[in-house]
Chains A and B, each alone.
Chain A
Amino acid sequence: MEKVFEYPESLTRNQTHYCPGCTHGVIHRLVAESLDELGLRERAVAVAPVGCAVLAYNYFNCDCFEAAHGRAPAVATGAKRCRPDLIVYTYQGDGDLASIGTAEIVHAANRGERITVIFVNNAIYGMTGGQMAPTTMPGQVTSTSPFGRNTEQAGFPMRVAELLATLRGKAFIARVAVHTPMQVVRAKAAVRRAFELQAKNECFTFVELLSTCPTNWGMTPNEATDWLETNMMPYYKLGVFKDPDDFVPYSVTGG
């Protein structure tokens, strides 16, 4: 009988520490399946962030770095520039990438580093216990926005995929979600395409995945899924914001 579903080789058998209902587990699996399907595991180097995924090196069955908070894209840059034959990816949350690491992600993207960035956006700081992130929704209550995010004082949620898509270079930039089976299938396609492009050293690749955090949102997993759909998806539009197939080479007159 043909085996149609199995445990990915690119995941270790360690039990994760993620909370019930958290979508990190799903996202780990999508990355692992993509590495398996493309035969990249033995060339893969993961760069874990500081945040909930800080222990990702215990779960990905490939070589790993644990980076300082926000610096994963710089670490990945160093690894990839020194060994362009490796498949280097970062796995970062929204506090790591969109707050303390904004300089590193923007410049890695702008240099067109041939790396893959897996950006998990759950609109909150998870590991430190539910503080406001740059991605926290207007009015969203967190431990450091106890009266809800005040956009007058804290600004609006940062849309990183759109921001990076304004850069001139060739890139693959997409936003997906993983809260329904249909969205998981689409998310997988985006993650896989990112790694396919990196395997050809084509361009910078970035996939933002909208994610739930039932624990710090103070909801059941089902409520969290509904909240993501009602509150996050209208603001964080899903889709491909940039694709290397649409890249227009630079010309002095054409910009």
Chain B
Amino acid sequence: MAKVLMKGCEAIGEAAVRAGCRNFFGYPITPQTEVPEYLAKRFPEVGGEFVQAESEVAAINMLYGGAGVGKRVLTTSSSPGISLMAEGLSYIAACELPIVLVNIVRAGPGLGGILPAQSDYHQATRGIGHGDFKLIVLAPSSVQEAVDLIYMAFDLADKWRNPVMVMGDGMIGQMMEPVDFPEMVNVSKLPKKEWAADGARGRGPNIINSLFLNEVALNDHNFRLKAKYDRIEAEERRHETWGTDGDMDVLVVAYGTMARIVKTGLTEFREAGGRAGLFRPISLWPFPHRELGAVARKAKRVLAVEMSTGQILDDVRLSVGLNKKVDFFGKTGGMVPTPDDVLEQLRALTAKKPAKKPAKKKGRSK
């Protein structure tokens, strides 16, 4: 199939259709509403159904029901809506149901704004709801990658019986780029889900449940889940490096669309003889800690750039250790760091420092 020019949100919807999703439950919220709008039109062509839920609380519980009867289900939302889904996600993870959700992140906290941000990093990677659980979190940096990751997310969700979040920002959702779509999955050929509560025909009842009143049983359940998360951590770390072959003065860490902006700044810096590269985590959980740690050994210092006040820093510091100098540059509220901002940061970090501190000026300068 030839490339088509498509808006990110619509491409996400089409990728879900290709991946065999036939049921979407969601609630309108800017800047992701084009996904439900696209699927409301597209689903009837493939025998799917779009349901507009009364709230994000209801939407995530509809996914719980849909995944529980064995179907590939999707919801998309944006930050405040994702907060409302925290409860349902905890149940879904506890019951090990495969679902895919998309967070087109907007600026917070509170009602915040509707412009791009990356300030839901902690929420996404630290479990979101109550109890010990993890989401697999994937962060695309282009519309094409959003398509590829959505397609993969459904397989990962089924493979691990775990919720998978694809986290983009407003730019991914709203920009148009040429994309190639993968093959249409044959829904009838997907592996049968023996655990699904889809009618006890010729077998005993299947029960989708997260209540364990016995503390030993719940303890066992939690450590069984932990063992699964450990396997996911071992097998599903994804990242990309750029310009990190030689020694570097600065290694920049950024994900999503921010990483592309950083690349532009880095290109100009490197063309002027600067030594710097990019590490882009694609899976935010599991975070590629080891991979970042290894690359960072070739760099004098690390600069994390994020549309937040520094949420990714925890994972960066865990990766590179306390002895490595780590700096942060970010903007929030829908302000997006520009390539020039990145360039300026790189120049400042690599500027030759004067041997002596200049004497303090008395009074105000200028």
Q: With A67-B61, A75-B64, A78-B61 as given contacts, are A62 and B200 in contact (CB-CB < 8 Å)?
A: yes
A236 to chain B, nearest CB (A): 26
**Which residues of B from 125 to 177 have beta carbons under 8 Å from A?**
none
Q: Answer whether residue A81 sits at the interface, using C-beta atoms and an 8 A cutoff.
A: yes
B173 to chain A, nearest CB (A): 24
Residues of B within 8 A of A63 (CB): 197-200, 205-207
Q: Answer whether residue B65 sits at the interface, using C-beta atoms and an 8 A cutoff.
A: yes
Residues of A within 8 A of B79 (CB): none
Of the candidates A57, A62, A81, A103, the one whose C-beta lies within 8 Å of that of B62 is: A81
CA distance A17 to B102 in the complex (A): 41
Q: Answer whether residue A31 sits at the interface, using C-beta atoms and an 8 A cutoff.
A: no
Q: With A65-B208, A66-B209, A104-B54 as given contacts, are A86 and B198 in contact (CB-CB < 8 Å)?
A: yes
Of the candidates A45, A62, A81, A107, the one whose C-beta lies within 8 Å of that of B58 is: A107
Residues of A within 8 A of B55 (CB): 103
Beyond A43-B199, A83-B70, list 20 extra A-B contacts (CB 8 Å).
A42-B200, A42-B202, A57-B205, A57-B207, A60-B205, A62-B199, A63-B200, A65-B68, A65-B209, A68-B61, A68-B91, A76-B65, A78-B61, A78-B65, A81-B49, A81-B51, A81-B62, A82-B65, A83-B199, A88-B65
Evaluate contact between A66 and B197: CB separation under 8 angstroms.
no
CA distance A83 to B73 in the complex (A): 12
CA distance A74 to B67 in the complex (A): 13
**Which residues of B from 19 to 71 have beta carbons under 8 Å from A?**
22-23, 25, 49, 51, 53-55, 57-59, 61-71
- Which of B64, B66, B205: most chain A CB closer than 10 A? B205
- Count of A interface residues, CB-CB < 8 Å: 36
28 A-B pairs with C-beta separation under 8 A: A60-B205, A61-B200, A61-B205, A62-B199, A63-B197, A64-B205, A64-B208, A65-B64, A65-B208, A74-B57, A75-B62, A75-B68, A78-B23, A78-B62, A78-B64, A78-B65, A79-B65, A80-B65, A81-B23, A82-B70, A82-B73, A83-B199, A86-B198, A88-B65, A103-B54, A103-B57, A104-B54, A107-B54
CA distance A108 to B280 in the complex (A): 43
- B190-212 interface code vs A (CB 8 A; 1 in, 0 out): 00000001111110011111110
Evaluate contact between B199 and A44: CB separation under 8 angstroms.
yes
Instruction: State the B residues within 8 Å of A (CB).
Output: 22-23, 25, 49, 51, 53-55, 57-59, 61-71, 73, 87-88, 91, 197-202, 205-211
Q: Answer whether residue A188 sits at the interface, using C-beta atoms and an 8 A cutoff.
A: no
- Which of B23, B62, B206, B210: most chain A CB closer than 10 A? B62
CA distance A68 to B202 in the complex (A): 28
Q: Answer whether residue A77 sits at the interface, using C-beta atoms and an 8 A cutoff.
A: yes
Evaluate contact between B199 and A75: CB separation under 8 angstroms.
no
CA distance A69 to B359 in the complex (A): 66
CA distance A156 to B61 in the complex (A): 30
CA distance A62 to B198 in the complex (A): 10
Residues of B within 8 A of A79 (CB): 65-66, 68-69, 197
Residues of B within 8 A of A78 (CB): 23, 25, 61-69, 73
B192 to chain A, nearest CB (A): 14
Q: With A61-B205, A64-B208, A66-B207 as given contacts, are A74 and B62 in contact (CB-CB < 8 Å)?
A: yes
Evaluate contact between B199 and A74: CB separation under 8 angstroms.
no
Q: Answer whether residue A210 sits at the interface, using C-beta atoms and an 8 A cutoff.
A: no
CA distance A177 to B207 in the complex (A): 29
Residues of A within 8 A of B49 (CB): 81
Residues of B within 8 A of A57 (CB): 205, 207, 209
Residues of A within 8 A of B58 (CB): 71, 74, 77, 103-104, 107
Q: Answer whether residue A47 sits at the interface, using C-beta atoms and an 8 A cutoff.
A: yes
- A31-72 interface code vs B (CB 8 A; 1 in, 0 out): 000000000011111010000001101001111111110010
Evaluate contact between B54 and A62: CB separation under 8 angstroms.
no
Residues of B within 8 A of A77 (CB): 25, 51, 58, 62, 65
CA distance A28 to B330 in the complex (A): 58
Residues of A within 8 A of B66 (CB): 78-79, 81-82
CA distance A65 to B64 in the complex (A): 9
A10 to chain B, nearest CB (A): 10
**Which residues of A from 92 to 128 have beta carbons under 8 Å from B?**
103-104, 106-107, 111
A78: nearest chain-B partner, CB-CB: B65
CA distance A43 to B198 in the complex (A): 7
A59 to chain B, nearest CB (A): 11
Q: With A45-B197, A63-B199, A78-B25 as given contacts, are A86 and B65 in contact (CB-CB < 8 Å)?
A: no
CA distance A109 to B210 in the complex (A): 26
Closest 5 pairs (CB-CB, A-B): A78-B65, A78-B62, A74-B61, A79-B65, A63-B197
Evaluate contact between A66 and B65: CB separation under 8 angstroms.
no
A55 to chain B, nearest CB (A): 8
Residues of B within 8 A of A55 (CB): 211
Of the candidates B65, B200, B206, the one whose C-beta lies within 8 Å of that of A41 is: B200
Evaluate contact between B65 and A65: CB separation under 8 angstroms.
yes
